[in-house]
Amino acid sequence: MIIYLAMNNGTAMSPKHALKTLLIMAALLVSSSMTAQVPVEVSKQKIVAEGRIYYMHAVQKGQTLYSISKAYNVKVDDITRENVITDNGIQEGQMLKIPASSASPAADAKAAATVSGEPKTQPNAQTPAQTPAQTTVPAPAPAATAAATTPPSSASSTSKSPGTQDPRFIYHRVARGETLSSVSREYGISVRELKKANKGLLFPREGDYLLIPRDKVSPGNAQKQQAQVPEKAIIAGDVTDTISVSDTSIVFTVPSAKTLITELSGSVKVAVMLPFFINENSVRSYIDSTKKDSKGKKIYKEVVMPGEWIYEGSVPFLELYEGILIAVDSLRALGLTVELDAYDTGGDTEQINSLISSGRLNDADLIIGPVYSSNLSTLSQWAAGHSIPVVSPVPLRDQNILSNRPTLFRVHPSVSVAQDISVTELRSHRGSNILFLYSDTLMSDPLTSEYWNKISTAMQPSGPDDSTIVTAQYFTGLIPRNDTYRGVSSLESLIMPDRENIIILAFTETPKVSSAFSTLHTLSRKYSIKVMGYPEIISLETIDLRYYYDLELFIPAESYIDFNSSTASWFMRSFRKNFGTEPMAESFAWRGFDIAFYFIGGIASHGNAFISDPGIFNPELVCLDPDFRRSSLSDGYENKGMFIMHYRKDMTIEVLKPAHPAY
């Protein structure tokens, strides 16, 4: 099912109330059938008022300002400016004046088709379901096609020579601000057909030439002339499919100075696919059988959930979506048109397959989510064939999911990247005694052996004066008969009193990590000891926080919030304005904002170039410092931008940012 969620701009709400409001909105939408949405037909009735021509449109039940604006291809502002719209929105039966001078030729074609008795809806017309709660800014009217000339008859597009044009296509020169969506509307074809004719194209850039298949163009646009194509012009339809290109042309830009954004133009369509678990939140009571009566029989009592109750699994994804909404609002303020569709994917792979087969995602410029590896695997494989970038916003279990998925972006780095960042920090501690603790016999886990090989290779003595020592030690964390002193003695023989000792924990299981910290903390009273571990250690609640500081823990992290920064302060003010509270440090809202602002802003600023080389866009974000790379053109991108969090003995945390490695 598809749901549309909107940001609340009214009175202040508590965090739970804000989340509850989003859920209620979604639940109301889910309860109505998508097929019940009323399509909008272009009116054949026109009037002239004050020298201007208007369509007269009678609002039908279920229609919205957005769906009407899409049908007439005008801006919502054009409609609201010419009509009296109350706070309750448009009403069934209300007559709206639609300025004909703003409407596209496609609207006139629809009206003409109605008058002539032809079908009222063109076969290729896109009529997505709309709801009042959809967070959307209407797309601007498409820019005029460039000056045209009649094309010479010639060979097919697969074998044409420079300057030779294929009569099967109209050649459209992309103007500033145009997108696949706006061009497809101009010619009355679907985005899917446009992408099929222009293989490998993600986002057209100003000056590119698009192939418009003549046999798909709507009757009202069939006689459109085409732009004169210069001899050395690049035709988008000649671009090779990204899945099968060679690996010889990978070029990345290293993120450096921050990108300053003052204004944006054009439009971007975004699909957000997250497990909001609407069905789970619709259950408002349960049967409590934990108590017994005087005879020992269970008492069955119905317990009604409090009004602010939210299903626990929904919370992080609703927070993520709140951050996305704030990013969209910020981008809209810069002049960008953003069409945002939110889908409740739950945890069901079948739901993903249903969305794919429905065609609702075909004209998306960007997809954020889904979150589960199985769902993401299915969607990203499909998206690769449609040249649609997909962003994975949360940690993943599948460490190899990027393989053969060239349009997939993994925001949360893999274990391998965390290892690389740790090794980078380790290089600044030459002369230390490095003790690598592993818990799997014979390093049978490939990730453990990979980590050990990286460390032992990187920390080889660099010369005769380099006294660095690297040792691997099997550590189970189990101390026979709770003999703490025996556990200490098993490691003390490997600790050196005359130098810094850095202990690498190559495991994340709570009992083993807890045992290691306890043992090392005891030894730290006599020796200089520092610990380095995986990011998951921070979330282990059984570890005494004091251990982190006393053992000067070094740990890689893919996000960090500087609450003293102006960016973080601005985000908290925006969040408070919209949701009546401030986000917690661990809230997914921070990540949601950064992901949406980075990817939507990058696409709007650089189009296809950003997808090929994300480093060209480096805005100021609130918690991430993305640095996306890929090893081959057939694989997806992974974020390698991580921080090192250093817990110091004075109970402060030092944030280290390793330099971006050279390419």
DSSP secondary structure, 349-393, as one string:
HHHHHHHHHHTTTTT-SEEE---SHHHHHHHHHHHHHTT--EEE-
Residues 497-521: what's their mean pLDDT?
93
Tell me which residue of 571, 548, 519, 580 sits closest to 650, measured CA to CA.
Answer: 548
Q: How far is CA 292 from CA 31, 285, 302, 304, in A?
A: 38, 20, 14, 19
**Cα angle for residues 336, 107, 205 (degrees, 5° grid):** 35
For the chain, give the number of residues. Answer: 663
Q: Which residue has the higher pLDDT, 421 or 252?
A: 421
Does the reported pTM lie above 0.75? no
Record the tokens describing residue 364, joined without a space. 């998306």
DSSP label at residue 221? G
For 189-204, the DSSP string reads --HHHHHHHSTT-SS-
DSSP label at residue 217? S
Question: What SS3 state is found at 624?
Answer: coil
| Confidence at 199, pLDDT banded by 50, 70, 90 | low
Record the tokens describing residue 456, joined without a space. 């032992």
Cβ 527 vs Cβ 495: under 8 Å: yes
Question: How high is the pLDDT of residue 92?
Answer: 82
φ and ψ of 148, to 5 deg:
-120, 155
Question: How high is the pLDDT of residue 566?
Answer: 92
Q: Which residue has the higher pLDDT, 216 or 144?
A: 216
How many Cβ atoms are within 10 Å of 427's Cβ, its own excluded?
12
Question: How high is the pLDDT of residue 11?
Answer: 35
- Model confidence pLDDT, tens digit, residues 353-376: 889 999 899 889 999 999 998 899
> Residue 16 contacts by C-beta under 8 Å, 6 or more apart in sequence?
308, 310
Residues 184-212: what's their mean pLDDT?
76
As a whole number, the mean pLDDT across the chain is 77
Q: Which residue has the higher pLDDT, 186 or 15?
A: 186
* pLDDT over 70, % of the chain: 75
Give per-residue burial for 332-344: e unless 16+ CB within 10 Å, then b: beeebbbbbbbbb
Which H or E run contains 273?
strand 267-274
Tell me which residue of 330, 326, 331, 389 sits closest to 593, measured CA to CA.
Answer: 326
User: Regarding beta strands 267-274 and 366-368, do their DSSP bridges make them parallel or antiparallel, or are they unpaired?
Assistant: parallel
Record the tokens describing residue 226, joined without a space. 């085409």
> Residue 615 contacts by C-beta under 8 Å, 6 or more apart in sequence?
252, 253, 254, 255, 627, 628
Class of CATH domain 267-275+315-412+561-642? alpha beta
Q: Do domains 267-275+315-412+561-642 and 416-557+649-656 have the same CATH topology?
A: yes
Q: Which residue has the higher pLDDT, 270 or 58?
A: 270
Question: How high is the pLDDT of residue 195?
Answer: 78
Report CA torsion sign: 481, 484, 485, 489. Answer: positive
- Model confidence pLDDT, tens digit, residues 608-646: 889 888 989 999 999 999 999 988 888 999 999 999 999
3-state per-residue secondary structure call for 237-255? HHCCCCCCCCCCCCCCCCC
Record the tokens describing residue 170, joined without a space. 């109209």
Question: What SS3 state is found at 222?
Answer: coil
User: Regarding beta strands 637-639 and 628-629, do their DSSP bridges make them parallel or antiparallel, or are they unpaired?
Assistant: antiparallel
Our CA dihedral for 567, 570, 572, 575, rounded to 10 degrees, sits at -120
Q: Which fold has domain 416-557+649-656?
A: Rossmann fold (3.40.50)
| Confidence at 601, pLDDT banded by 50, 70, 90 | very high
Name 46's bridge partners. 55
Question: How high is the pLDDT of residue 483?
Answer: 47
CATH number of 42-120: 3.10.350.10
Amino acid type, 617 = F
Q: Is 17 exposed, middle or buried (0-12, 13-18, 19+ CB in 10 A)?
A: middle
Q: HSE (CB half, 13 Å, CA atoms) of 382?
A: 18
Residues 404-427: what's their mean pLDDT?
93
How many Cβ atoms are within 10 Å of 141's Cβ, its own excluded?
18
Residues 380-390: what's their mean pLDDT?
91
Answer yes or no: is pLDDT of 592 > 80: yes
Q: How far is CA 439 from CA 131, 285, 444, 474, 496, in A?
A: 54, 45, 10, 6, 22
For 631-655, the DSSP string reads SSTTS-EEE---EEEEE-TTS-EEE
* pLDDT over 90, % of the chain: 37
Question: How high is the pLDDT of residue 313?
Answer: 87
Query: CA-CA distance, 96 to 47, in Å (whole number)?
Result: 11
- Model confidence pLDDT, tens digit, residues 255-285: 778 888 889 988 999 999 999 988 888 877 7
> Residue 322 contacts by C-beta under 8 Å, 6 or more apart in sequence?
7, 18, 22, 575, 578, 579, 583, 589, 592
- For the chain, the distance separating the N- and C-terminal CA atoms, rounded to the nearest angstrom, is 43
Residues 54-81: what's their mean pLDDT?
84
The domain segmentation of the chain, as residue ranges, is: 42-120, 267-275+315-412+561-642, 416-557+649-656
Question: How high is the pLDDT of residue 235?
Answer: 52
Answer yes or no: is pLDDT of 436 > 80: yes
Residue carrying structure tokens 């009569």: 167
Q: How far is CA 12 from CA 135, 186, 568, 584, in A?
A: 19, 42, 20, 17
Tell me which residue of 86, 78, 208, 194 sits closest to 139, measured CA to CA.
Answer: 78
Report CA torsion sign: 141, 146, 147, 152. Answer: negative
Question: How high is the pLDDT of residue 154?
Answer: 29
Question: How high is the pLDDT of residue 123?
Answer: 33
Residues 394-404: what's their mean pLDDT?
87
- Model confidence pLDDT, tens digit, residues 99-153: 875 554 444 444 433 333 333 333 333 333 333 233 333 333 333 333 333 332 3
Answer yes or no: is pLDDT of 522 > 70: yes
Answer yes or no: is pLDDT of 325 > 50: yes
Among 196-210, 435-449, 477-491, whose mean pLDDT is lowest? 477-491
Question: How high is the pLDDT of residue 222?
Answer: 59
| Confidence at 51, pLDDT banded by 50, 70, 90 | low
Q: Which residue has the higher pLDDT, 599 or 243?
A: 599
Question: How high is the pLDDT of residue 317?
Answer: 94
For 121-187, the DSSP string reads S-TT-------TT-EE-PPPPPPPPPPEEPPPP---TTSPPTT---TTEEEEEPPTT--HHHHHHHH
Residues 90-105: what's their mean pLDDT?
74
Question: What SS3 state is found at 215?
Answer: helix
Answer yes or no: is pLDDT of 343 > 90: yes
Report CA torsion sign: 137, 138, 142, 143. Answer: negative
Answer yes or no: is pLDDT of 19 > 70: no
Question: What SS3 state is found at 663?
Answer: coil
